[in-house]
Chains A and B, each alone.
Chain A
């Protein structure tokens, strides 16, 4: 396998590993925790690195996971004082922890191979040079092995606790009543996020972790309401961001991680525009179609309300629709045309009247709405 194929494979594995916990972050309205955790794990990594002197040590992952959970706990602690909003708590905790990490690196690790650029931005292009070997046997790039294990772990946890995650996400009070301890599940999820983030930072940097955890699941959410479909789509969008991003980076000779984030953004924007149901374009088209039906319904109900009243003649006229009901001319004519076309309304010059069918239809729609 050439380096280029290896890089793409790593990117794909990272993308899928991030998408899985990301789905639940997005659904639980905790997307910004990925930003907080991916930054705040820095001091944990640095301290573990000082202890082991080895950037590939599994202790780094442990240190980062502990710091990630510490971040969550600190945010929760600050929020519980009632003196700060949750957003302010997040916005204070993670820059502080990140600063501690930067400071530790700057003061004590100036000449060791660990710099902030790498943590924040990652450098996927170098990943294939760092090999994972056991007894002289080359098992592939280190990043691939680490992320492969993390991906497998995420898949395993997700399969085992799918039901618990689902119920805590959609109905936390019910979950508590059923004895599922939402707090434990949420901390477990945050643990997953931390471990995934630390595994990924080496390859793609912490900001991209946020992009891959949030953008594909949010885009997937625009296409579907079903959790299982959303998970599958998120993973697919993640893979597409990884592969598409690599191509763009290759063409521009620019940062791979950045291009992947950009590609994830492109997928989100396309979904934002085109997803049926939620997308802007379908929303616009549907609104236009509904406007006709809506205008027709409004017209017949209006006529129903006013027929037989003393001012009926005035109320039930085309001019009245525009002058007093403030319907735009186009809207009024579409409504009248649709209603007349469907045989619900009779038009006599400017005067409008319900047909018998129209009266029945107006009564029916009144009940439905």
Chain B
């Protein structure tokens, strides 16, 4: 497969384009996820459609740069309107997103159908922005993606410190004298560019996943912003290349959905298995802690009963422990575990006693719990 990737010109072009867009949208998307703007990407990508159609109508050109500029202007206008509506009226952010997304898209659709019915207009290819058509990517498209993507990443690197501060504590940034509103516009503008360069490959509908998913997955693996953004870019790039390859190899698998399903699986794996934050690890930790608590509780109970006798190794019945235990669960399993750990021994069928190690640990537990007063 790797060989094919290197030798097949079409596949190489497509994979390179998809990888680049994944890299850029992943990196910018990480910021969108952290700033709770995950759905803004969805709105921007839909809002870009009339821009593409208008750019074609006005210039008659299908040059990728022309269409991307049109898309970016419309997407940016949509984002600005969302902010304006939320700030000036009681209409909430989610409604403003929904309105801009659907209305801009509707207008785009009107324009597209209008163009289609224009006599002799060579509109072929504009449709690909709806659902994405990676297979139609040519070298010129990839150059545009690469150029704009590099510009976006460069600006992100230059203003890294400012964007980090803006995302964490915009108000504090304001007191330090940074122009918060302008920085916010710049970061949103970069997000807009990251989105529009991906539209042709992934399509308007699925582009939001390319913004949200890599960042959401990357967040689970690290607690550092730099690592997160880098990782999100890598996950995006990997999904882009992977999706392009799968789509090229398998019959009837469109690129957009292939990329999205790939990146969604990475999210699922990250949520489950990422160390520390992952759900599986968290469950395991909870289970371990719960077990440790049960072990300690039984140890202390045994110790408390035994300390009423001369020897702390004095055996007691399991029933008595069940009565003392605060949980209704049987202590049998815990006792068995104690024996495996060498903290208690079974005297006969029903009776259990602490070993020396057990006495030692029970004392330590009680010291911790009661501050040594016991």
Whether the complex brings A and B within 8 Å at their CB atoms is answered yes
Q: Which of B2-10, B207-215, B352-360 binds A?
A: B207-215
Assuming the contacts A221-B91, A278-B90, asked whether A262 and B106 have C-beta atoms less than 8 A apart, the reply is yes
Complex CA gap A123/B211 in Å reads 30
**B98 and A107 contacting across the interface, CB-CB below 8 Å:** no
Interface size class for chain A? 35 or more
**B42 and A91 contacting across the interface, CB-CB below 8 Å:** yes
Q: List 18 A-B contacts (CB under 8 A).
A: A26-B91, A32-B98, A35-B39, A83-B279, A91-B213, A92-B212, A99-B258, A100-B257, A100-B261, A107-B251, A117-B130, A120-B130, A120-B205, A211-B102, A215-B99, A253-B113, A258-B108, A268-B103
Q: Does B68 contact A (CB under 8 A)?
A: no
Using Cβ atoms and an 8 Å threshold, which residues of chain A touch B104? 265
**A81 and B92 contacting across the interface, CB-CB below 8 Å:** no
A95-B206, A99-B261, A254-B113 provided; 9 other pairs, C-beta below 8 A? A35-B98, A95-B264, A207-B102, A211-B99, A218-B91, A218-B99, A248-B110, A261-B103, A262-B107
Assuming the contacts A88-B33, A222-B91, asked whether A103 and B103 have C-beta atoms less than 8 A apart, the reply is no
Complex CA gap A306/B211 in Å reads 58
Q: Which residues of A contact B (CB under 8 A)?
A: 26, 29-32, 34-35, 39, 78, 81, 83-85, 87-88, 90-92, 95-96, 98-100, 102-103, 106-107, 110, 116-117, 120-121, 207-208, 210-211, 213-215, 217-218, 221-222, 248-249, 252-255, 257-262, 264-265, 268, 272, 278, 280, 283
Complex CA gap A81/B131 in Å reads 31
**B209 and A221 contacting across the interface, CB-CB below 8 Å:** no
Assuming the contacts A90-B38, A91-B41, A218-B95, asked whether A208 and B261 have C-beta atoms less than 8 A apart, the reply is no
Q: Does B109 contact A (CB under 8 A)?
A: yes
Using Cβ atoms and an 8 Å threshold, which residues of chain B touch A214? 95, 98-99, 102
**A252 and B33 contacting across the interface, CB-CB below 8 Å:** no
Assuming the contacts A258-B109, A258-B110, asked whether A95 and B103 have C-beta atoms less than 8 A apart, the reply is no
Q: Which residues of B contact A (CB under 8 A)?
A: 33, 36-39, 41-42, 46, 85, 88-99, 101-114, 117, 130-131, 205-206, 208-209, 211-213, 215-216, 219-220, 251-254, 256-258, 260-261, 264, 267, 271, 277, 279
Assuming the contacts A35-B42, A207-B102, asked whether A107 and B253 have C-beta atoms less than 8 A apart, the reply is yes
**B256 and A102 contacting across the interface, CB-CB below 8 Å:** yes
**B94 and A31 contacting across the interface, CB-CB below 8 Å:** yes
Contact partner of A85 (CB less than 8 A), chosen from B36, B95, B113, B220, is: B36
Contact partner of B209 (CB less than 8 A), chosen from A29, A96, A120, A283, is: A96
Complex CA gap A353/B228 in Å reads 63
Assuming the contacts A107-B253, A259-B106, asked whether A91 and B212 have C-beta atoms less than 8 A apart, the reply is yes
Contact partner of B252 (CB less than 8 A), chosen from A29, A107, A117, A120, is: A107
Question: Which residue on A lies nearest to B207, using beta carbons?
Answer: A95
**A91 and B95 contacting across the interface, CB-CB below 8 Å:** no
Interface of A is mostly: helix
| Residue with the highest number of chain B CB atoms closer than 10 Å, among A30, A116, A255, A258 | A258
Complex CA gap A38/B271 in Å reads 25
Complex CA gap A259/B106 in Å reads 6
**A96 and B89 contacting across the interface, CB-CB below 8 Å:** no
Question: Which residue on B lies nearest to A121, using beta carbons?
Answer: B109
Question: Distance (Å) between the CB of A253 and the closest chain B CB?
Answer: 5
**A99 and B260 contacting across the interface, CB-CB below 8 Å:** yes
Complex CA gap A30/B264 in Å reads 23
Assuming the contacts A35-B98, A210-B98, asked whether A259 and B216 have C-beta atoms less than 8 A apart, the reply is no
Contact partner of B257 (CB less than 8 A), chosen from A84, A103, A254, A264, is: A103
Contact partner of B94 (CB less than 8 A), chosen from A32, A83, A95, A261, is: A32
Assuming the contacts A99-B261, A260-B106, asked whether A106 and B46 have C-beta atoms less than 8 A apart, the reply is no
Using Cβ atoms and an 8 Å threshold, which residues of chain A touch B111? 254
Complex CA gap A32/B36 in Å reads 14
Complex CA gap A283/B36 in Å reads 29
Assuming the contacts A95-B205, A103-B253, asked whether A34 and B98 have C-beta atoms less than 8 A apart, the reply is yes
Assuming the contacts A214-B102, A262-B106, asked whether A81 and B261 have C-beta atoms less than 8 A apart, the reply is no
Complex CA gap A265/B101 in Å reads 10
Question: What are the nearest 5 A-B pairs in CB distance?
Answer: A261-B106, A265-B103, A258-B109, A211-B102, A95-B209
Question: Distance (Å) between the CB of A290 and the closest chain B CB?
Answer: 16
Contact partner of B110 (CB less than 8 A), chosen from A117, A217, A221, A262, is: A262
**A88 and B264 contacting across the interface, CB-CB below 8 Å:** no
Complex CA gap A32/B96 in Å reads 9
Question: Distance (Å) between the CB of A274 and the closest chain B CB?
Answer: 12
Assuming the contacts A252-B114, A261-B105, asked whether A91 and B98 have C-beta atoms less than 8 A apart, the reply is no
Question: Which residue on A lies nearest to B37, using beta carbons?
Answer: A87
Contact partner of A96 (CB less than 8 A), chosen from B91, B109, B252, B260, is: B260
Assuming the contacts A35-B42, A88-B216, A102-B256, asked whether A215 and B102 have C-beta atoms less than 8 A apart, the reply is yes
Complex CA gap A34/B130 in Å reads 19
**B264 and A96 contacting across the interface, CB-CB below 8 Å:** yes
Question: Which residue on B lies nearest to A283, using beta carbons?
Answer: B88
Complex CA gap A85/B85 in Å reads 23
Question: Which residue on B lies nearest to A218, using beta carbons?
Answer: B95
Complex CA gap A260/B101 in Å reads 14
**B39 and A90 contacting across the interface, CB-CB below 8 Å:** yes
Question: Distance (Å) between the CB of B257 and the closest chain A CB?
Answer: 4
Using Cβ atoms and an 8 Å threshold, which residues of chain B touch A211? 99, 102-103, 105-106
Complex CA gap A29/B37 in Å reads 15
**A110 and B99 contacting across the interface, CB-CB below 8 Å:** no
